[in-house]
Chain A
Amino acid sequence: MSLKENLHNLKEKYRGTKMAPAFNAIHTFLYLPNEVTHGGTHIKAADDLKRTMNIVIMALIPCLLFGMFNAGYQHYAAIDGSLRDNVIANFFTWDNLWIGIIKVLPLVIVSYGVGLIVEFIFAVIKGHEVEEGYLVTGMLVPLIVPIDTPLWMLAVAVVFGVVIGKEVFGGTGMNILNPALTIRAFLFFAYPTWMSGDKVWVYDAVNRTGTADAISGETILGSYAQNQEVIYSNWDKFFGFIPGSVGETSTFLILLGAAFLIFTKIGSWRIIVSTFIGASVMGLIFNGIVNADIITDSSKFYGLMSTNWWEHLMIGGLAFGAVYMATDPVTGSQTNKGKWIYGFLIGFISIMIRVFNPAYPEGVFLAILLMNVFAPTIDHYVVQGNVKKRLKRVTVKTA
C-alpha cells in the first residue's frame, strides 16, 4: 500500500478521537486533503491558509539567511573593526555562517518547537484543527529578537505569546494582538535589562563584558539616542551590515520581500506604503523642529530628532515591522480605507516613540501593538461611513 493509502486509513481509524487534530496536522502537511465541497460553491479557488502562510515564510527566508551571516559578521567586526573596510569580502564567509548556525538556528528551532507544541496541545484539548498561523509567527520571532537572547527566555516568551496572545481568544483569526509582537513585548518587559542596552545585539558581547576582550554591540539607534556618531555608512544601513535584531537589519531584503508579498497579493500594499509615509511624515516633523532651532544639540532628543527622515526608514525595525508585522490581516485593519489610516499611524507613532522613549530607542513593536488595539475602532468608523451612506439614500428618497 502506498503512503497515501496508509495515511488515509489511519485518518479514518482515528476520526473523531482526541488525537485526530494532531494526526491531521501532519497528514495535511503532506497531502492536500480529499475533502469535497458540499452546498455552496461546487468549486473552490486554489488558495488556502497554508499556501498563504507559506508565501509569507518564503518572503522571510532571505532575511533569515542574511541574518545568519550578519550574526557572524557583527561578531567578528566588533572584535576587528578593520573587517568593515571590505564588507563584500568579509560578509559571506563560512566563519560568519557558522556563528549563524550555532546562534540563529537554535532560536528558530526553539521558536517553532515550543510554539507548535503549544498549538498541538490546544488543538487536541479544544478539538479543532491545528491552524497555520504559527507557521509565520514561528519564523518571525527569531528574526525580531537580539542574537544573544537565551533560549529559555525565548521558550517562556513563546508559551506566553501563543497562549495569552492567541489561544485564549480562540486561535488563529481570533486574536487581537500580533502573536509575534506579543512574544517580543513579553521579552522586553519581563527581561528589560537583558533586552536593551548595548550588549545583547552582537554575539558574545554579553559574555565578554568586563574582560579584556570586551566588544561593543551598540545599535545605530542606541548610538543616536546617546547623541553619538555612528560608524556605519548609509549603504551599510540599507543593505543591513549593521547590528540589530537577527533578521531585521537589511532594508534591501525586506523591500524585496515586500515586493514579493505585494506581487503575490498576500501582503497589503496599502499598509506597507502608508506605514512608510507615516514614518516619513513624523521624521520630517522632527527634522523641521531641529532646523527651526527649537531644540539644540544639548537636548537629549537631539541625536534621533536630527536623524534624516529617510534614514529613520532604514534603521531599527521599521521596515521589517511595516512589511511583515503591520500587514498581519488578523490584527490589522480589515477595510481598505482603514488600512491607510492604520499603516500611517503605525509609522507615525513608531518614529515618535523611537525618539521620545528614553529607556529603549525603538518603537515599532509598541506602535504596531497599539494600533492592533485600535484597528477595530478604525474599521468601525470606516464601516459606519458605508452605513451612513445607506441611511442617506433612504432620507434622500423620502425627502
Chain B
Amino acid sequence: MSKDIRIKKGLDIKLIGVAEKTTTNSSLSSVYSVQPEDFHGITPKLVAKEGAEVKAGDTLFYEKSDERILFSSPVSGKVTDVIRGARRRVMAVKIAADTTQIHKDFGIKDASKMSAEEVKNHLFSSGCWPFIKQRPYDVVANPDQAPKAIFISAYATAPLAADLEYTLAGKDAELQTAITAISKLTEGKVHVSVGANSMFENLSGLEIHKVSGPHPSGNVGTQIAAIDPINKGEVVWVVTPQDLVVIGELLLTGKLNLQRTIALTGSQFEKPQYITAIAGASISDVTANNLNNDNTRVISGNVLSGKQLEIDGFLGYYDNQITAIPEGDDYEFFGWNKPVFDKISPSRALTFSWLTPNKKYDLNTNTNGEHRAFVVTGSYENVFPLDIYPMQLLKAFMIQDLDEMEALGGYEVAPEDFALTEFICVSKQPHQKIIREGLDLMRQELG
C-alpha cells in the first residue's frame, strides 16, 4: 500500500552548479579523518591510540555511555594524529591510509535468517550502528529504545542535492539486504519515501510513499510528520539510503566499505559532477583540479545544513555532497533598498525572484542584512510544512521553557527542518542553532 505525500509549503532553492551525471573515481587520499562531532551527542572514548595500525572496520573510538556503539576506521593504515580540543575531548582521529587497503572480515551473513538481536550485535561490532539515527533529538539511535517505525528518505530536495537514483544505481541487492536486516529492529513498518520513479519500488519489506512538492518534502522529518508523527515517549529511527548500502554490503561481503558516490556541486566547481570517495577523505584530494578556490566557501553537505570546511578539511561521515559557493564578504552599495534580481527572496519587496521561478542563482554567503529580533510574522509558515507553529517553537527553545518546548512539538523536529525558515528569516536569526541547543537541553532534561 502506498500513501502519497503532497507538500505545498516550502521553497525550492535553485542554484548554479548541479552535478553532471558522470562519475570519476577519486584516487585514495593519503590522510583520512573521523570527527566525533559528525555524530552529534556522542562522547568519544579513544581506542586506537596514536601510532596504532588499523584495518578498515577496526574500532577507533566508542561512545562513553554505551560501549556497544563503536566507530570504525573507514580505511586501513596508521593512526597518525589524535586532535583534542577543550577538556581533552577527541576532535578528530587522523589515519594515514595504506596504499593497499585491508578490510577487517566481519563474516558473510544471511539477513533473512538473522534475529533482531543478531542484527543489532552485527551493526554494533562492525561500527555500523551510528548510521541509525533517531528522532526525537536527531542523534545516533539509542539501541535500548524500540522504534515505532523506521524512516528512509530516498527523495532528495535540498539545494543541489545528489540524485539518489543516480548514486545508488546498481545497489539493489545491498539495499534489499539492508532493509531485510533493519526491518527486524522494529515492530512497526519501514517507510521509504521516493520521488516519481524509484528503484525502491522493486524492493520488498517496506512501505513506499510517493512524495511531491518543494523542499523540504525530501527531508525525512517532513515525511515522518506526514506519515506517522512522533508523540511524546515515541522514537523513530532514520537511515539514509547511502548508509543502507554500506550496511547491505557489510552483510553480503563481510567488509565495511565506506566508499560512496558523492556530488560535487555549486558554482565554484569548474565541473560539477559525481565522484567516488570514502567517508573522511581529505577535501583537497576529492576536489583536486576542479575547485576554484578563490574566496570560496566549501561545505560538506548542502548549503542549508552542511558544515563549513577549511580547504584542509575532511568529508563528513554522513555526507554525500560537497558544495562550493562564493564567499560574500563584500559590501553592496544601497544593497538594502535597491531592486534585487540576482538573489532569491520569498517576498516581492523589490526582489524579483518570483518572476523567474526556474532561474538558477549563484548565491554567496553574505547574510544580506544584520541580525535582529523577530519582527516579521507569518512568513515562516509558508515554507514550513509541519503542523507546528515555527516561531512560537523557536521562541520556546530560546527561553528554554521545557514545558512549552514539549507541548509545541519539540519532539518532532530536527535542526534541518528549520533550515528553510532560517534561510528566509528577515531577522537573520540562527534557527538551526536554536533548535540544536534546545534539543540537547530536552535530551538532557527529559531523556
Contact = CB atoms under 8 A, between A and B. Distances in A.
A13 interface: no
A30 B333 contact: yes
Given A46-B343, A386-B408, A41 B303 contact: yes
Given A34-B330, A383-B389, A47 B347 contact: yes
A61 to B, nearest CB: 13
Interface size class of A (residues with CB under 8 A): 35 or more
Contacts of A132: 372
B336 A41 contact: no
B423 A386 contact: no
B263 interface: no
B377 A47 contact: no
B93 to A, nearest CB: 23
Contact of A265 (B348, B364, B368, B409): B348
Interface stretch (B97-105, B314-322, B426-434): B426-434
B350 A334 contact: no
Interface stretch (B27-35, B125-133, B245-253, B304-312): B304-312
B1 interface: no
Nearest to A173: B373
Which one of A28, A133, A171, A265 has the greatest number of beta carbons of chain B within 10 Å?
Answer: A265
Interface in B347-382: 347-351, 353, 363-370, 372-379, 381
A69 B56 CA distance: 81
Given A41-B303, A48-B336, A33 B331 contact: yes
Contact of B349 (A37, A55, A129): A55
Nearest to A261: B349
Contacts of A397: 231
Contacts of A391: 407
B409 A390 contact: yes
A129 B335 CA distance: 18
Residue among A37, A39, A173 with the most chain B CB within 10 A?
A37
B344 interface: yes
Contact of A133 (B368, B375, B387): B375
B179 to A, nearest CB: 26
B392 interface: yes
Contacts of B12: none
A35 B367 contact: yes
Contacts of B422: 40-41
Contacts of A307: none
Contact of B373 (A36, A44, A174): A174
Contacts of B374: 173
A8 interface: yes
Nearest to A37: B365
A265 B328 CA distance: 26
Interface in B406-447: 407-409, 419, 422-428, 430-433
Contacts of B427: 49, 173
Interface string A303-342: 0000000000000000000000000011010111001000
A42 B331 contact: no
Nearest to A260: B348
B356 to A, nearest CB: 13
A131 B375 CA distance: 11
A37 B345 contact: no
Nearest to B334: A30
B375 A386 contact: no
B370 A35 contact: yes
Interface string B223-234: 000000101110
Contact of A32 (B365, B369, B376, B430): B369
Contacts of A7: 331
A319 to B, nearest CB: 21
A48 B369 contact: yes
B372 A42 contact: no
A234 to B, nearest CB: 33
Please indicate which of the listed interface residues A36, A46, A48, A336 has the most CB atoms of chain B within 10 Å of its own CB.
A46
A54 B336 contact: yes
B365 A36 contact: yes
A379 B13 CA distance: 31
Contacts of A191: none
Contact of B306 (A28, A42, A44, A264): A42
Interface string A348-386: 000000000000000000000000000000010001001
A47 B426 contact: yes
A264 B297 CA distance: 31
Contacts of A223: none
A42 B426 contact: no
A383 B365 CA distance: 34
A43 B347 contact: no
Given A47-B368, A49-B426, A32 B349 contact: no
B375 A129 contact: no
Given A38-B308, A172-B375, A129 B370 contact: yes
A224 B347 CA distance: 42
A171 B349 CA distance: 24
A248 to B, nearest CB: 24
B370 A28 contact: yes
B392 A39 contact: no
Nearest to A49: B372
B391 interface: yes
Contacts of A28: 336, 370
A330 B391 CA distance: 12
Interface centre among A32, A40, A133 (most CB of B within 10 A): A40
A394 interface: yes
A51 interface: yes
Given A41-B305, A170-B373, A335-B389, A50 B337 contact: yes
Given A36-B365, A265-B346, A330 B375 contact: yes
B373 A172 contact: yes
B327 A31 contact: no
Given A4-B331, A40-B430, A393 B229 contact: yes
Nearest to A56: B349
Nearest to A39: B433
A32 B373 contact: no
B340 interface: yes
Given A40-B431, A52-B426, A387-B408, A46 B368 contact: yes
Nearest to B304: A41
A334 B373 contact: no
B433 A329 contact: no
A94 interface: no
B332 interface: yes
Contacts of A45: 343-346, 368, 423-425
B37 to A, nearest CB: 12
Most A CB within 10 A of own CB, among B334, B387, B392: B392
Given A41-B422, A46-B344, A334 B331 contact: no
Given A32-B366, A45-B345, A39 B331 contact: no
A388 B360 CA distance: 42
A31 B331 contact: yes
A-B pairs with lowest CB-CB distance, top 10: A48-B369, A32-B335, A173-B373, A46-B343, A50-B336, A31-B331, A32-B332, A334-B377, A46-B345, A329-B377
Interface of A: 4, 7-8, 28-52, 54-55, 129, 131-133, 170-174, 263-266, 268, 270, 329-330, 332, 334-336, 339, 379, 383, 386-387, 389-391, 393-394, 397
20 contacts: A31-B333, A32-B336, A33-B331, A34-B330, A35-B329, A36-B365, A40-B430, A42-B299, A42-B303, A43-B304, A47-B347, A48-B336, A48-B369, A52-B347, A52-B426, A132-B372, A172-B372, A264-B348, A265-B348, A335-B392
